[in-house]
Amino acid sequence: MISVEEATARVLGLCRPLEPERVPLAQAAGRVMPAPALAGRDQPPFDASAMDGYAVAGDVAPGMAFRVIGMAAAGHVFAGRVGPGEAVRIFTGAPVPDGATRVVIQEDVTAEGDRITLGDRLDASTNIRARGQDFRAGDALPPRRLRPADLALLAAMNIGSVAVTRRPAVAVIPTGDELVMPGEAPRADQIVASNVFALKAMAEAEGAEVRLLPIARDTEADLRVVLGLAEGADLVVTVGGASVGDHDLVGKVAGEMGLERSFYKIAMRPGKPLMAGRLNGAAMLGLPGNPVSAIVCGHLFMVPMIRTMLGQADPLPRIARARLAEAVGPTGPRTHYMRAKLSPGEGLPGIAPFVSQDSALLRILTESDALLIRPAGDGPRAAGDVVDYLPL
Ligand SMILES: Nc1nc2c(c(=O)[nH]1)N[C@H]1C(S)=C(S)[C@@H](COP(=O)(O)OP(=O)(O)OC[C@H]3O[C@@H](n4cnc5c(N)ncnc54)[C@H](O)[C@@H]3O)O[C@H]1N2
Ligand code: MOO
């Protein structure tokens, strides 16, 4: 059995960043931009008025009067120059006319015909946004997964299409004679395939394109057929059939189909019978069948693999800290990821693991907001001790 850290390093070693493709900006939400994007122009591209009012030149003082010589609006430049004693009617977003040094807001002005007189309380701001104040031509948006505000920034930079990493193709394969799909009529000795729907959703949330393949029955021939259907995937995720039972055939069949196994079994609970390797050019992750084991391993290994394929610099799940809300016993030889509940605390939140940690119990997973990480071989811990957890 290898450690979780070693297994993490090995599964990431199976993954390479995929090639980029160009997509229209309107389709780039959530995609990973692997290289910096450079602004095509300054923003604002001119000194711009931040308010509706009057653009004037030089110092201002209460009671000063100006003659209005023209108008500037957003999208409509005033072509002339503002001299002493002159003003240009201006609106928010308009280019500030040459010569003007401030915009007096209209609330501070009395207007009569083409004359304005300043009131007795003037705000100190120039109300001018300097050219390039937001960004300059050539400024970069660094590589990242694109969030809505990033798209707005790219648009302002005049970038109409963006190079993003191709979406990893992920094939998810449920295995087992006992499984039916949700909505079907299970026999009395069957259960409904569940964890694959969580895995699909998790992979899609990261930006993968996921194919949920048909259930592979517990025969070598059936597994061979369904593994064959995964052809073309960048990542093949099997679920179940990973353990030591007579019907656990995934390792055997994948081996015969060319799996170069990287490891089998890790010091982790749940998730001990995890398997990974390289299968005909794809990365392969063999998850245990127990619903919680599969989903926890999905968070720890599948998601970081997808992020690595997407070229994300920091693929590992974020680890946070909390204080134990109650004492916990020692852990065994495997790092234990315990379903747990967070509670508000001073400084750090409190965390309490659920009493039952049976890896078949999905309901407790849905009630959890964290996985408390108990390192392998850790001793008993007292309430108040600071511990690591994975937010869910
Ligand atoms: N003698 C031993 N038995 C087991 C060991 C062991 O070390 N020695 N390890 C146990 C651990 S830990 C786990 S985890 C499981 C993993 O077994 P498999 O990966 O072979 O999974 P299956 O046997 O196929 O299924 C386990 C369990 O999960 C249910 N299942 C399977 N697929 C799904 C699915 N897609 N959706 C919902 N539920 C699923 C299946 O019906 C079983 O109940 O092995 C232990 N045994
Ligand atoms: O590892 Mo099994 O995944 O403990 O239930």
pLDDT at 243: 85
pLDDT at 83: 97
Ligand nearest to the CA of 293: 2
CATH class held by domain 320-391: mainly beta
What is the per-residue DSSP string for 323-384? Answer: EESS-B----SSEEEEEEEEE--SSSPEEEE-S---TT-HHHHHH-SEEEEE-TT---B-TT
CATH class held by domain 22-42+138-165: alpha beta
For residue 55, which phi and psi values (nearest 5 degrees)? -85, 125
Which amino acids bring their CB within 6 angstroms of ligand 1?
Answer: 174, 176, 178-179, 191, 193-196, 239-245, 248, 270, 272-273, 288-291, 293, 359
SS3 25: helix
pLDDT in tens, 160-200: 999 999 999 999 999 999 999 999 999 999 999 999 999 99
Enter the pTM of the model.
0.93
Query: Which H or E run includes 246?
Result: none
pLDDT in tens, 294-303: 999 999 999 9
User: Which ligand 1 atom lies nearest to the CA of residue 243?
Assistant: 20
Q: Does domain 48-129 have CATH number 2.170.190.11?
A: yes
For ligand 1, atom 12, name the residue with the nearest CA. Answer: 272
Task: Say yes or no to pLDDT of 389 above 90.
Answer: yes
For ligand 1, atom 44, name the residue with the nearest CA. Answer: 243
DSSP state of 218: S
Q: State in Å: Cα 362 to ligand 2 middle.
A: 13
pLDDT in tens, 239-296: 999 888 788 899 999 999 999 999 999 999 999 999 999 999 999 999 999 999 999 9
Model confidence at 350, pLDDT cuts 50, 70, 90, reads very high
Ligand nearest to the CA of 298: 2
The full set of domain ranges for the chain reads 4-17+166-309, 22-42+138-165, 48-129, 320-391
Count Cα atoms within 13 angstroms, Cβ side, for 365: 18
Residue in the structure block whose two tokens are 């061979």 = 224
Fold of 4-17+166-309: Molybdenum Cofactor Biosythetic Enzyme; Chain A (3.40.980)
Model confidence at 159, pLDDT cuts 50, 70, 90, reads very high
pLDDT at 326: 97
pLDDT in tens, 364-386: 999 999 999 999 999 999 999 99
For ligand 1, atom 25, name the residue with the nearest CA. Answer: 289
pLDDT at 99: 98
Mean pLDDT of 137-151: 98
Q: State in Å: Cα 288 to ligand 2 middle.
A: 7
CB of residue 291 inside a 6 A radius of ligand 2: no
User: Which ligand 1 atom lies nearest to the CA of residue 175?
Assistant: 32
CB of residue 289 inside a 6 A radius of ligand 2: no
Q: State in Å: Cα 78 to ligand 2 middle.
A: 72
Q: Give the chain's end-to-end CA distance (angstroms, integer).
A: 26
Specify whether the CB–CB gap between 331 and 260 falls below 8 A.
no
Mean pLDDT of 223-232: 98
Q: Tell whether omega for the bond before 270 is within 30 degrees of 0, i.e. cis.
A: yes
Ligand nearest to the CA of 357: 2
Ligand nearest to the CA of 172: 1
Query: Which H or E run includes 54?
Result: strand 53-56
Q: Which two tokens stand for residue 203?
A: 């992979």
Specify whether the CB–CB gap between 55 and 100 falls below 8 A.
yes
For ligand 1, atom 23, name the residue with the nearest CA. Answer: 241
SS3 102: strand
pLDDT in tens, 13-58: 999 999 999 999 999 999 999 999 999 999 999 999 999 999 999 9
Query: 339 vs 96, 179, 217, 325, 392, CA distance in Å?
Result: 59, 25, 30, 14, 9
Count Cα atoms within 13 angstroms, Cβ side, for 54: 29
Of the chain, the percentage scoring pLDDT greater than 90 comes to: 97
| Interface predicted TM-score (ipTM) over 0.90 | yes
